[in-house]
Amino acid sequence: MTPATTPAQLDAALRWRYATKAFDARPIPAGVWKSLEQSLQLAPSSYGLQPWKFLVVTDPAKRALLRPNSWGQSQVTDASHLVVFTRQTSVTEADVQAFFDQMVSERKADPSKLEPYRQMMVQNVAQGMPAERQREWAARQVYIALGQFMTAAAVLGVDTCPLEGIDPAKYDEILGLKGTRHETVVACAAGYRSADDKYAGMAKVRRPLDQVVVRV
């Protein structure tokens, strides 16, 4: 396929992005937001099992309730959009089967040829991981999706701020997740930086490339 961007453009977008501390009131256009939602849908995950759900919090009242449970961070209420990244609390054989059936259908595949893969997912995840390890594994998958979302946003000129400084249990309560199969891991605000955000013009502080990328 033809590359969607150039190396120089990608580098510029990644250098432009930062953890935005102050957002203005500009809304993300509908078409741009749809693309960002699709970046979440298309995010990779281990085995392709997608043990997550992404909640786009559009209710201002709910966002107002979330803010004091986020160390009072203004991004929660001020950004155009707020996404709460949740993990599945468990992965069952039924989950594996549903994914397997969808894979067979969409790829028009012979299920007998894919059966070893189904068995591997059952043995390694549904049966092979204790409950707490499944939850930890699912959280790692969520962070893969978060990284893809933030990179896609930067390429589209949208600012983001990942929010780990939140109370997940309170988020679950406010968002009606208690008693469901999903629980909050992390959140991310998305929108456009305020002209008053003093952090926007600060130089990135990163270790030199040769200290973080090692060729072996």
Q: Could you give the domains of the chain?
A: 7-91+129-212 (3.40.109.10)
pLDDT tens per residue across span 141-196: 999 999 999 999 999 999 999 999 999 999 999 999 999 999 999 999 999 999 99
**H-type helices in 42-110, by residue range?**
60-66, 75-78, 93-107
Residue 26 gets which letter from DSSP? Answer: P
Instruction: Kindly indicate the confidence band of residue 209, based on its pLDDT and cuts at 50, 70 and 90.
Output: very high
Distance between CA 20 and CA 17 in Å, rounded?
Answer: 8
Q: What is the pLDDT of residues 95-127, one digit of tens each?
A: 999 999 999 999 999 999 999 999 999 999 999
The reported pTM is: 0.97
Is the alpha carbon torsion for 159, 194, 70, 35 positive or negative? Answer: negative
> What's the angle, vertex CA 103, arms to CA 100 and CA 104, rounded to 5?
85
